[in-house]
Chain A
Amino acid sequence: MNTTVVVLFLAIVIATLFITYYAAKRTQTTGDFYTAGGGLTGWQNGLAIAGDYLSAASFLGIAGAIALFGFDGFFYSIGFLIAYLVVMFLVAEPLRNLGKYTLADMINARFDAKKVRGMAAFSTITIVIFYMIAQLVGAGALIQLLFGIKYWIAVLIVGVMMTVYVLFGGMTATSWVQIVKAVLLMLGTVIIAFLVFAKFDFNLVKMFAEVKTATVHGADYLKPGLKYKVPLDTLSLMLALVLGTAGLPHILMRFFTVKDAKTARSSVVIATWIVGIFYILTMFLGFGAAAFVGYDAITTANAAGNMAAPLLAGVLGGDILMSFVSAVAFATILAVVAGLVLTGASAFAHDIYGQIIKKGKASDREQMLAARYASLFVSVFSILLALFAQTMNVAFLVSLAFCIAASANLPVILYTIYWKKFNTNGALIGMAAGLFSALILVVLSPNVFAPEPGQAIFVGTALFPLTNPAIISVPLGFLGGYLGTILSKEKADYRKYAEVSVRANTGYRE
């Protein structure tokens, strides 16, 4: 561990604690806790959404994937970006107009049914837990590498920090940590991409010509098919990526932090620009790492390629740039896991405790207390899981989270806003079909069963051939919602739909 890393690391810890201290003073009510009082501007929320999105998996993972697999690594960038159009065109504004704190609130704007709320909360918690384990295990491994400390200490540091932000500063602290990190991450990425491009004399053709000979793959490096060889698996992954974002609860929750649909819209627009620029730059990061760090050095540091970006920073800008990038990666992890804790806590405290158990009659003090206990519970639970999951290959959990979001949440969100006949039964069956088909297919997939020991959790033959089940589970989610509706005797409440439609489209409130 060198001094620069330690100094920057501490600077980030201190800065975020300051943010939390100020945020804590402004967190008085439940609304402040979950949604920062709905007072963020379009710019602030746009940066925070971009921040939620540019997780360590994006920054380190995609740069590494492009460095190792060339074109195929770029697929993730494209899927993640186009996903914003789905959010912008179909989901963000109606969601802001109908919801209060959680996804379940929005669905309940139409169906006042505890079963539906419970199911939505369950799906939220499942997604949050999977996403969180992936982030925490990745974080532990990364910090262990960066700072040379033990895995369990690394997980505990990240775990304690995220708990502190959420417990004391709620959404205000979480958002501001996210904003600060998004700015730092963009800065770091732009600097590295610029240095890489300078090394190629600012000449794209030269860059392509040089990376063509720089890797062990030779000319194949620039062609698709190096990583994704099964066509249906590629399509399935792309489907999960493009539809998942619009159903990810921690992204959806961000739309409740702004005052109205117009601000929600401007925040997606800002996030789209930032995320788009970032993902274009990942190409430079990946190419740079492939050319200047080299395949062997990248895979020696971390087999999945996660160290490509920090190593590249070291080659280009020496210890200082590498320390900066490492510190930013640390901040990235902290900010994303804090957002996840808050989302998980909102499902437990607001949906299950506040609305289902207390029937919406809990006092603000009780709700706030419940929110804090739930945050603590979600944090401790995920830290424990992350400690046990250290040796497991958990990289697939992120794409699984996207898959569940696309299969269980998105069909119901779309039906709730746009389908007149949709009813309670359809909502329940749609969510259950998407959620459980995704889970079961993953359990039977090559992620869990592999013929050779060490590749997956169990040794054996996978019953389901695809690593990502989206291509089956997304249609099942839509089909479940459709059949559940038309096959039930329950009559749709057209009056309620008229109200939901008017409110969703105009933002009308009394």
Chain B
Amino acid sequence: MKVESAYKGKTEQEWGSVEPLSARQATDFERIVSSPQYKEMLRRKKRFIVPMTIFFLAFYFMLPIMTSYSTVLNTPVYGDITWAWVFATAQFIVTWVLCVMYVKKSNAFDKDADEVIKLIERDGGSA
């Protein structure tokens, strides 16, 4: 039943009519998921994405929390520019910095993903 679901949407022509469908096996995704390459890729991704997401969400909510429950941010920094405006602008800078960091990290993730795809293609039908 599970094998069938992998063939969903494929016509017989696409899979070739030489072999009967049952002779070919679908990619064993569970095996791929438990492979060291895949686990390493997910670990690296998580190590970047999870802390960074927590960081930017916390940094973001700090602003409305501080403006709503305290008046600390009304202290001037320079002239009439207060910390509220500095903090607000810092949100933009954080966004851009994280954006650049993500792009750099992603290039490494892409290489990891290519490794996994190679693994699937090597073991693909015979797993």
Which A positions have Cβ atoms within 8 angstroms of B?
71, 74-75, 78-79, 81-82, 84-86, 88-90, 112, 204-205, 208-209, 212, 222-225, 228, 231, 234-235, 238, 242, 262, 265-266, 269, 272-273, 276, 279-280, 360, 493-496, 498-499, 501-502, 505-508, 510
Contact = CB atoms under 8 A, between A and B. Distances in A.
B56 A82 contact: yes
A280 B91 CA distance: 11
B6 A499 contact: yes
Query: Which 4 pairs, one residue from A and one from B, show the smallest C-beta to C-beta distance?
Result: A231-B68, A224-B67, A205-B79, A498-B29
Interface in B17-65: 27, 29-30, 32-33, 38, 41-42, 45, 49, 52-53, 56-57, 60-61, 63-65
B30 A242 contact: no
Given A224-B67, A242-B60, A502-B38, A205 B91 contact: no
A89 B49 CA distance: 6
B33 A89 contact: no
Given A238-B61, A508-B117, A81 B79 contact: no
A222 B30 contact: no
B51 to A, nearest CB: 11
Nearest to A237: B64
A269 B5 contact: no
Nearest to A231: B68
B126 interface: no
Nearest to B45: A505
B113 A507 contact: yes
Contact of A224 (B32, B53, B84, B102): B84
Given A89-B49, A501-B29, 17 more contacts: A81-B91, A81-B95, A86-B53, A90-B53, A208-B81, A209-B80, A224-B67, A234-B67, A234-B68, A269-B103, A272-B95, A276-B92, A498-B30, A499-B29, A502-B38, A506-B117, A507-B113
B106 A273 contact: no
Given A205-B79, A205-B81, A208-B79, A88 B32 contact: no
Nearest to A209: B80
A84 B102 CA distance: 12
Interface residues of B, number: 54
A48 to B, nearest CB: 18
B38 A235 contact: no
Contact of B102 (A78, A88, A360, A495): A88
Q: Which of B27, B81, B95, B103 lies at the interface centre, i.e. has the most chain A CB atoms within 10 A of its CB?
A: B95
B73 A224 contact: yes
A222 B106 contact: no
Contacts of B68: 224-225, 228, 231, 234-235
A269 B99 contact: yes
A262 B79 CA distance: 45
Given A205-B81, A223-B84, A242-B57, A82 B95 contact: yes
Contacts of A112: 5, 8
Nearest to B32: A502
Binding site secondary structure of chain B: helix
B33 A498 contact: yes
A137 to B, nearest CB: 28
Given A78-B88, A502-B32, A208 B67 contact: no
A90 B102 CA distance: 11
25 contacts: A78-B60, A78-B63, A81-B92, A82-B95, A112-B5, A204-B81, A208-B79, A208-B85, A212-B80, A222-B84, A222-B85, A223-B71, A224-B74, A224-B84, A231-B69, A234-B64, A269-B99, A269-B102, A269-B103, A273-B96, A279-B92, A498-B32, A499-B6, A505-B41, A506-B114
Nearest to A360: B9
B28 to A, nearest CB: 8
A265 B99 CA distance: 10
A501 B64 contact: no
B2 interface: yes
B123 to A, nearest CB: 12
Nearest to B106: A265
B98 interface: yes
Contacts of B67: 71, 224-225, 234
A499 B92 CA distance: 37
Nearest to B116: A506
A360 B65 CA distance: 48
Contacts of A269: 99, 102-103
Contacts of A498: 29-30, 32-33
A502 B103 contact: no
Nearest to A233: B68
Interface in B69-95: 69, 71, 73-74, 78-82, 84-85, 88-89, 91-92, 95
B12 interface: no
Nearest to A220: B74
A505 B112 CA distance: 10
Contacts of B117: 506-508
A82 B90 CA distance: 11
A82 B41 CA distance: 26
A502 B64 contact: no
Nearest to B80: A208
B33 A501 contact: yes
A235 B30 contact: no
A235 B61 contact: yes
A273 B39 CA distance: 32
A313 B44 CA distance: 49
B103 A223 contact: no
A422 to B, nearest CB: 15
A283 to B, nearest CB: 9
